[in-house]
Chains A and B, each alone.
Chain A
């Protein structure tokens, strides 16, 4: 047993006032801890990270929840939350507990440059804001105006990271092919703020969100297509209460409806065995499961196979909740389990639909040296291959 620590009801009230309204609903059954993806991997962090215990420490206002390695370990995958018997908003509680530390100006070392860049550049990747739109070169995409129906909002990762830019470009090609009326912002937008809010920096999140809302509203944005499920989440869940109400969809949702309406066709045959890794923020957090499967199965020649853990039971890549910036020893990364599962299913390609998942799965595939048997692709890239064939 752990040593007895001092109970602080004031701390509890402070956590609850920071947004953890459902903290006291928890009955300490422990289902969360046992469904947590950390149970699937070995290692030191797996041994110390216990989400049930974290709720308890919060309930009692105990010091200890603020141990940096534990407090910032949650990947916010939502596996616990979507199954919690008491519907406790576990991720919100984690966010609030993080906020009690981050709000006081204390951020773990590896996250400081992230927050710094968000303050200075409006993106977490230390990319100069004037280079945000560089990925657009040669694509012939109009700037969003009253004449375009949709705003295509591109995740910071896909604006700056050269690997990830390919996602943005592929999404553009697919939308153009389907005749969608859309425009983009040309660098004046900021990060959606999803991840920094999960990290616990409410103030910085509000700053980013308010700036975007002012920009979107000023330009008359009504409908938004996102490339990342994380942006999708925050536009849908977090922006309305700050005055940003839009019809928001992930590109997979729009493309699947265009496919059904006959406005998008994927003619080129790709004779491949394909599996799909459900991003947590597209699946569990936004309940989009069918659209990507419909799109992949519409490609001629595709043989679709499910991973062992799929749809609402999908195993996180570990890129959420700020963990994309965490250093995790090889052998303890969730992404490796996804790669191994895909290899076990004899898949040629593991497709996903999130820039964070791509980063994590690419790393895992390279680390496991499985690149010769398995290819990691973002869904838009895969669909474009069919278009261009």
Chain B
């Protein structure tokens, strides 16, 4: 029998788009998200390029569309265990992990206040901590607290249970699995930043003032670990000289053989954060080639006047053990000059890795992990960065087209 509903896996901007577009065309949609909130990596961004506006309004609009739309049912803290079937008739097993907080939660925060346990805050890429009972971030949707089962001290502690006047804490909540029957699947699980410790000559994880581009987004964000002040991790000092190091893993056969496509624009954008906060700062960008495609040329032309662009792939990054300043070794390819620049902080432009390290067999992907459309298997469609490196607006367009393909799969005869 043919099912008319669509499953969207991944609740980032791609999944949100596919879910909303398909449902607004009349389809029943299930949206499954692994984290405790919707919005994905975009929720962790400070600003979009090239408009330099925050992502929250776009996300809010999508959340509103979901709230108003009875045809979308979403699950957070959920993952896909199994996919069986063919186009028009899939049975998908979904595992729902415990939030330990039920629908009674009003996000008053009393549980967090009394919670004695702490956990590393992955929303801020480990740059600060939250309590074990925490709110994922300021604009979390659904606006509910969540308890980190690994950090929580358990029922013996139980302080949150006593503090919650709404009876919203359930420390004995268990994982459960259930099946969904759907006609087609949109796979939009997004991306992860490349593990910068693998590019060992750049010293990430060893030198405190070498950070990654995704961390820079959090440092610049007003709801980030420094409340939006861009300062050095080692001593909280203002950043007067900074180096953006491009292709930290991308375009490299030892790491990611492909161009991640967005990092040049991301670094140019982040250069504007630094310049806005510290107009006298010296900003370097070291690159192999600047890839600001299509209409982004204008942004590139504008920003490059304010910063020092140097063509050359950075070699070793070392640290002054006294000052914790970082020293960037590079050759200027236009002049042949071998430079050793000392800067306050380095931002590694780490690339995008498709989030397909642990996917059901039904999902086909290429040697780099990007989801590919299998012409033999209609009914499952990749969308967004899990398919190829994309910026936000391109992900939105790609997901809209994936929604159309998914709808076709539910009505094909």
Contact = CB atoms under 8 A, between A and B. Distances in A.
A and B pair up: yes
Interface of A: 1-2, 27-31, 33-36, 39, 50, 52-53, 82-87, 312-313
B335 A1 contact: yes
B253 A86 contact: yes
Given A34-B330, A85-B247, A2 B336 contact: yes
Given A2-B336, A86-B253, A29 B312 contact: yes
Contacts of B272: none
Given A35-B201, A83-B254, A313-B200, A30 B335 contact: no
A35 B315 contact: yes
A50 B331 contact: yes
Nearest to B255: A85
Given A30-B330, A34-B316, A85 B253 contact: yes
Interface in B304-342: 312-316, 329-331, 333, 335-336, 338
Contact of B313 (A30, A36, A82, A87): A30
B81 interface: no
Contacts of B314: 31, 34
Given A34-B314, A39-B338, A52 B253 contact: no
A28 B331 CA distance: 10
Contact of A30 (B201, B253, B254, B331): B331
Given A34-B316, A52-B331, A29 B253 contact: no
A343 B362 CA distance: 57
A30 B315 contact: yes
A29 B315 CA distance: 10
Nearest to B317: A34
Q: Please list the 9 inter-chain residue pairs (A to B) with the smallest Cβ-Cβ separation, ordered nearest first.
A: A34-B315, A29-B313, A85-B252, A30-B331, A31-B313, A29-B288, A34-B329, A87-B253, A35-B315
A30 B337 CA distance: 11
Interface of B: 200-201, 247, 251-255, 288, 312-316, 329-331, 333, 335-336, 338
Given A33-B331, A34-B329, A53-B336, 7 more contacts: A29-B313, A30-B333, A31-B315, A33-B338, A35-B315, A85-B251, A313-B200
Nearest to A30: B331
Contacts of A1: 335-336
B196 to A, nearest CB: 15
A331 to B, nearest CB: 19
Nearest to B200: A313
Contacts of B335: 1
Contacts of A35: 201, 315-316
Nearest to A32: B315
Nearest to A47: B338
A83 B315 CA distance: 10
Nearest to B254: A83
A312 B255 CA distance: 15
Contacts of B252: 85
A39 B315 contact: yes
Contacts of B316: 34-35, 39
10 contacts: A1-B336, A27-B288, A34-B315, A34-B316, A34-B330, A36-B315, A82-B254, A83-B254, A84-B253, A85-B247
Contacts of B247: 29, 85
A52 B332 CA distance: 11
Nearest to B253: A87
A28 to B, nearest CB: 6
A50 B313 contact: no
B321 to A, nearest CB: 11
Contacts of A313: 200-201
A50 B312 CA distance: 14
A162 to B, nearest CB: 38
Contacts of A50: 331, 336, 338
Contacts of B336: 1-2, 50, 53
Nearest to A53: B336
Contacts of B312: 29-30, 34
B333 A28 contact: yes
B65 to A, nearest CB: 43
Contacts of B200: 312-313
Contacts of A82: 254
Contacts of A85: 247, 251-255, 313
A33 B313 CA distance: 10
B331 A34 contact: yes
A233 to B, nearest CB: 20
A39 B333 CA distance: 16
A87 to B, nearest CB: 5
A33 B330 CA distance: 8
Nearest to B315: A34
A1 B330 CA distance: 17
Nearest to A33: B331
Nearest to B249: A85
A33 B35 CA distance: 43
Contacts of A31: 313-315
A28 B333 CA distance: 8
A2 B288 CA distance: 21
A82 B253 CA distance: 10
Nearest to B330: A34
A94 B198 CA distance: 28
A31 B247 CA distance: 11
A27 B288 CA distance: 9
A39 B330 CA distance: 10
A312 B251 CA distance: 21
Nearest to B329: A34
A344 to B, nearest CB: 11
A315 to B, nearest CB: 11
A314 to B, nearest CB: 12
A83 B288 CA distance: 15
A34 B254 contact: no
Nearest to B340: A39
Contacts of A29: 247, 288, 312-313, 333
Nearest to A35: B315
Which residue among B200, B201, B316, B331 has the maximum number of chain A CB atoms within 10 Å of its CB? B331
Which residue among B200, B247, B333 has the maximum number of chain A CB atoms within 10 Å of its CB? B333
B315 A33 contact: yes
Contacts of A87: 253-254
A35 B314 CA distance: 9
A40 to B, nearest CB: 9
A82 B316 CA distance: 14
A70 to B, nearest CB: 14
Contacts of A312: 200
Nearest to A88: B253
Contacts of A52: 331
Contacts of A53: 336
A29 B247 CA distance: 10
Contact of B329 (A2, A39, A83, A84): A39
